[in-house]
């Protein structure tokens, strides 16, 4: 069974449950790192645990949600071995996997519809890293 970690702040909260339900219907095991309500919350409190879970290999991929997607993306990318990608479009989702071997997808909930997020997530999960000329580029990412 494929394992996915998910987390959001209050702005991303409205999409979290529908995404979890969608993933579960497709056979994924999902661990929800919070937040668990629409009350104001700090994105880093959820982005760090998701990134750490993916970084250690406990989870195959991660999903992060916040208003702009920027806060969770910046936070996750502080972790070595994490390649978090801000995604607002299905093509960006596929390219983030093909060219960048992204392992965390970040959604800007205030700027993307749920259906677009689900379509993008599906492509993110189904698309493989191309390797080849992209491999040496990905190897240069970590400090």
Hey, which residues are catalytic here?
66, 99
Q: Is 121 exposed, middle or buried (0-12, 13-18, 19+ CB in 10 A)?
A: buried
Q: What are residue 122's phi and psi, to 5 degrees?
A: -60, -45
Contacts of range 48-54, beta carbons closer than 8 Å, 24 or more positions apart: 48/75, 48/76, 48/79, 49/5, 49/7, 50/5, 50/6, 50/7, 50/76, 50/104, 51/75, 51/76, 51/78, 51/79, 51/82, 51/84, 51/104, 52/79, 53/5, 54/5, 54/81, 54/82, 54/103, 54/104
């Amino acid at each position: 069974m494929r394992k996915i970690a998910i987390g959001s702040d209050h702005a991303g909260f409205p999409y979290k449950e529908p995404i979890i339900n969608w993933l579960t219907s497709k056979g994924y095991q999902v661990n929800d790192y919070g937040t668990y309500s629409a009350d104001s919350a700090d994105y880093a409190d959820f982005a760090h645990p998701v990134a750490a879970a993916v970084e250690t290999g406990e989870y195959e991929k991660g999903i992060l949600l916040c208003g702009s997607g920027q806060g969770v993306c910046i936070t996750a990318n502080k972790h070595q071995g994490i390649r978090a990608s801000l995604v607002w479009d299905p093509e960006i989702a596929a390219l983030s996997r093909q060219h960048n071997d992204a392992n965390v997808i970040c959604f800007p909930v205030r700027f993307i519809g749920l259906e677009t997020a689900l379509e993008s997530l599906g492509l993110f999960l189904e698309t493989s890293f191309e390797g080849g000329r992209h491999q040496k580029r990905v190897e240069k990412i970590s400090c």
